[in-house]
Amino acid sequence: MPDNAPTRGFPNAEFEMRLDRAQRRMEALGFDALLLTTEPEIRWFTGFLSQFWLSPTRPWFLVVPSRGKPIAVVPSIGTDALARTWIDDIRTWPSPRPTDDGLSLLAEALRDAVGACGTVGLPIGAETYVRMPLDDLERLRSDLSGVSWGDATGLMREMRRVKSPAEIDKIAEACRVACDAFDRMPDIARGGMSEIEVFRAFKIACLEAGADDVDYLVGSAGFGGYGDIISPPSDRPLQAGDVLILDVGLTVDGYYCDFDRNFSVGPPSDAVRRNYEIVWQATEVGIATAVPGATCAELFRAMNAILMPYAEAGAAGEVGRLGHGLGMVLTEFPSIAAWDDTVLEPGMVMTLEPGMATAPGRMMVHEENIAVTDGAPRLLTRRAAWEIPVLEP
């Protein structure tokens, strides 16, 4: 990573500020504690960053009381790592322990936080899940008789959707790294290489440019366009006339970029050139529209208006939206969709992802990452070329 990369981690003041915001909101909503079980929720409050979450074996819990600092209830394998965060109250058990995998410790921590008959907020709405065995959750609820449960989805969305300057710096660095790797594509990818080989070369370029991990890379290539943007790469060699899309979510210090770039293998056809320019133009309109006070629905309509006259099968189509929030997770709320009335605020980081079906089974998708500011948005990615870049056939 270059010398001007942002410092890793956050000062404690950042977590104090987050906790203060959350506790004010908890008070307004009548929550005496929050119970959190997933990686981004727990990391947002604690700073605890670990790939160990990839292992589904052990549950991890955070109890956020309405006063005082959060209580971590975690497997003892995490003791040292948690002790290096700003959290003081760390309660551990040797997990996995089938007879009681942290449940009695968790019940005690919740009782400490809410008393005999308080209210616990747990995120249970759209785009959430509870990361613990359902059987254990049901047992916990029955053990904590007298305690009420509320939905903390809205609270957690409100907390996480506006990013701090330090968070935006990390996302910007992830975007910078991916842009540098995309710039090298004409040197590392050409006709005759399989999709698998191109993906591997691009992942190496991302690591060399400063990525911690290339967590997400999807895409495909096809003659005149591509149809499926969520599958792994195939053995098929790139051929002259192919359009290749790579959509990358790489991380720097636990924060994602999420954007794509298109390439033509050999000179593009007129149709490819035209479709590329239309979607590029829709992105341009998206950038111009993403000012504070605009809603996600307005942003959707502005981009959609550019696409609709040309789209064979309708814009958004199977993807269901034209962009989304971005941060500690590859895809966050809100959605740039006709049904999402979320108002843009300074500090929100979004992907603008206009796409259209250009023919049956063929799409064209562009994507940039922006941070909403007081005025025009800050472009975190370097803007894609307005003509489709060409790879050697």
Determine the interface stretch with a second copy among 65-73, 126-134, 160-168, 259-267 (rule: CB under 8 A).
Answer: 126-134
Give, as ranges, the residues between 72 and 111 that touch a second copy (CB under 8 A): 75-81, 84, 92, 94-99, 101
**Closest to a second copy by CB, 78 or 284:** 78
Question: Do residues 60 and 29 make contact, with C-beta atoms less than 8 angstroms apart?
Answer: no
Peptide bond into 267 cis (omega under 30): no
Phi, psi of 347 (to 5 degrees): 100, -15
CA torsion sign for 42, 4, 175, 368 is: positive
Residue 244 touching a second copy (CB under 8 A) = no
- # residues contacting a second copy (CB under 8 A): 77
Among 25, 160, 161, 321, binds a second copy (CB under 8 A): 321
Among 11, 30, 320, 345, binds a second copy (CB under 8 A): 320
Phi, psi of 217 (to 5 degrees): -145, 115
Instruction: Map residue 121 onto helix, strand or coil.
Output: strand
Distance CA 177, CA 293 (A): 31
Residue 51 touching a second copy (CB under 8 A) = yes
**Closest to a second copy by CB, 124 or 343:** 124
Residue 1 touching a second copy (CB under 8 A) = yes
Among 146, 186, 232, 267, binds a second copy (CB under 8 A): 232
Strand partners, 165: none
CB of 378 to a second copy, least distance (A): 24
CB of 386 to a second copy, least distance (A): 27
Question: Do residues 112 and 71 make contact, with C-beta atoms less than 8 angstroms apart?
Answer: yes
Determine the interface stretch with a second copy among 173-181, 199-207, 294-302, 372-380 (rule: CB under 8 A).
Answer: 199-207
Distance CA 170, CA 14 (A): 14
Site string for a second copy, 151-190 (x = CB under 8 A): x-x-------------------------------------
Among 167, 169, 212, 298, binds a second copy (CB under 8 A): 212
Distance CA 203, CA 214 (A): 6
Buried residues in 42-59 as b, exposed as e (16+ CB within 10 A): bbbbbbbbeeebeeeebb
Amino acid (1-letter code) at residue 374: D
**Closest to a second copy by CB, 135 or 270:** 135
Nearest in space to 260 (alpha carbons), one of 290, 291, 226: 226
**Closest to a second copy by CB, 116 or 126:** 126
Determine the interface stretch with a second copy among 259-267, 284-292, 324-332, 375-383 (rule: CB under 8 A).
Answer: 324-332
Give, as ranges, the residues between 127 and 146 that touch a second copy (CB under 8 A): 127-135, 137
Among 115, 165, 186, 361, binds a second copy (CB under 8 A): 361
CB of 203 to a second copy, least distance (A): 6
Distance CA 63, CA 281 (A): 46
Question: Do residues 222 and 327 make contact, with C-beta atoms less than 8 angstroms apart?
Answer: no
CB of 108 to a second copy, least distance (A): 20
Give, as ranges, the residues between 262 and 301 that touch a second copy (CB under 8 A): none
Strand partners, 221: 244
Name the DSSP class of 347.
Answer: T
